[in-house]
């Protein structure tokens, strides 16, 4: 559910103008593992470790069009609210059929207790990815 919703929630583009056979669509949406690159794998590993999810889940969402920054925000909000990422995504409002998470409003609406769950962690994807560099 998260994977299907995440593509819309995280800004996947519209499909091609000409219809493709199912295998053609899959080829567009599913880059080969070697196309991901070491950088994408490193970021996926860090997100997975930070939020206790599998690296495969993160990579699958990325292959389906979810950006790492948006994924970080969803997982962070889910942690703060004490809910699963799929249930959080399911709660996002839709505007013209597209999910509109409104991350700024969601973070602003967190209670003090919810915000305290995020105090010890990185505030954004950049801090997570560069955490090792800052410890030097």
Q: Which candidate, 135, 24, 129, places its Cα nearest to that of 71?
A: 129
Q: Which candidate, 28, 110, 32, 120, places its Cα nearest to that of 65?
A: 28
Q: Residue 106 and residue 76: Cα distance in Å, rounded?
A: 11
Contact 43, 129 (CB under 8 A): yes
Domains of the chain: which residue ranges? 25-135
Report the pLDDT averaged over residues 91-106: 86
Helix (H, G, I), strand (E, B) or coil at 98: strand
Q: Residue 45 and residue 95: Cα distance in Å, rounded?
A: 32
Report the pLDDT averaged over residues 73-95: 90
Q: Over the stretch 66-76, which tens digit does the pLDDT of each residue have? A: 889 999 999 99
Q: Tell me the whole-structure pTM to 2 decimals.
A: 0.69
pLDDT of residue 125: 94
Q: Is the pLDDT of residue 119 over 80?
A: yes
Q: Is the pLDDT of residue 7 over 50?
A: no
Report the pLDDT averaged over residues 93-119: 91
Angle between helices 55-63 and 2-9 (to 10 degrees): 50
Q: Is the pLDDT of residue 126 over 70?
A: yes
Query: Which residues partner with 99 through β-bridges?
Result: 94
pLDDT of residue 34: 52
Query: Which residues partner with 58 through β-bridges?
Result: none
Q: Is the pLDDT of residue 83 over 70?
A: yes
At 80, which helix (H) or strand (E)? helix 68-81
Q: Over the stretch 32-57, which tens digit does the pLDDT of each residue have? A: 455 678 889 999 999 999 999 999 98
Two tokens, residue 84: 């699963």
Confidence of residue 132 (pLDDT cuts 50, 70, 90): low
């Amino acid at each position: 559910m998260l994977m299907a919703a995440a593509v819309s929630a995280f800004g996947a583009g519209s499909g091609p103008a000409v219809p493709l056979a199912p295998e053609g669509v899959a080829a567009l949406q599913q880059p080969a593992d070697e196309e991901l690159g070491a950088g994408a794998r490193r970021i996926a590993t860090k997100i997975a470790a930070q939020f206790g999810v599998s690296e495969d889940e993160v990579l699958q969402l990325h292959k389906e069009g979810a950006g790492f920054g948006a994924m970080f925000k969803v997982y962070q909000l889910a942690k703060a609210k004490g809910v699963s990422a799929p249930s959080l995504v399911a709660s996002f409002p839709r505007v013209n059929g597209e999910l509109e998470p409104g991350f700024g409003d969601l973070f602003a609406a967190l209670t003090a207790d919810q915000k305290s769950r995020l105090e010890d962690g990185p505030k954004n994807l950049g801090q997570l990815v560069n955490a090792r560099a800052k410890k030097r």
